[in-house]
Structure 1
């Protein structure tokens, strides 16, 4: 499909002109509808762009490489991180304690699952270009961000906060930009999270002359994880947010 057709389809979804699940509405029909639509009625402008956001809900197939969640269309790129394990790329141990899939999944398998009529729930991190940076399947009975059960990762939930507090140690798993899982515990990275690495993340970083530690930039650390590099770390978490992430060698 040509890029201009994809862009038009995305714009249609953005302004509510796409009727999800309509078997009689082809992509070409939607393009023709966009051409004839009155801008005053849609509110569309030539410079309209998608907004970077997280989408959560039932994933629906629109066209190869195009999906919709909650009436918002988005595209899949070659470097989109797709994680399944429940219905998409199912596996015996394909779901973690947080209800999220744990199996790396390819686009073809995901599309085949959706086209076969299987219902898949997912959380999508979409950038401002309307492209998914990550797609993570989750169990429909588990909402993304649900706190872990007490005792997960060696700590406990703090009453009234809804977030895990404690220390979690093990292999980091990438979920979305700034959102990871370690030892079955989900957590987020804040602006003031101290990231100490130097082994695989920020391997060329400059060591502190006094401590020998390498302070790692979040963007570089996040990109290393998103690329599939295995990183072991000890994470100090308060209310579901990492105070520090310290990489260690196996």
Structure 2
């Protein structure tokens, strides 16, 4: 996931190479300008720092968006997945409500500037280029995590129990068995089910029936303690995680 795009469009605009926001500047020209500026960073082996951003996409200029006021750019290597309001398609979302349809920049821009809201999760690399943009169904984020029957809460009721919540984002390590996402801290219990296989328990054995990789707590905890960035959806009930699903 290491990209060579180390020069932002903003920096290019400052030097006079690109007139950012100009009506004459198309989306493709913005992408070409970013790609051209990347040559100066070839051979730079500095560690890549990424940060996840989730929320409503806002259009700033061709090839530039923001989420919660944090701006970022789209390059020719940015992976864009839609399926709902951006590049809508039948069955364009996975079981967790995330887009799986490849979407081009022009279609994404048209959707964001259109009438329907586009919620997305963006992995942004320093100095501000998006590695990926994945649309999600904002109405499904409060649904139970994988493993719970549709319409059932943690206790098998028709509604989620009081004190429960679904949190999504980058896991922050606090202490063994205690993590946090966006300021919401929670603990891991003996019966917490951990679905992983991306960075945590990478290469783990999948269940032949469900395709899930169940991760051992010790290995999962060690991955977080080592500073590895792990994105997850967590079903929390009264401060304890019922399930942790890496994505």
TM-score by length of 1: 0.46
TM-score by length of 2: 0.46
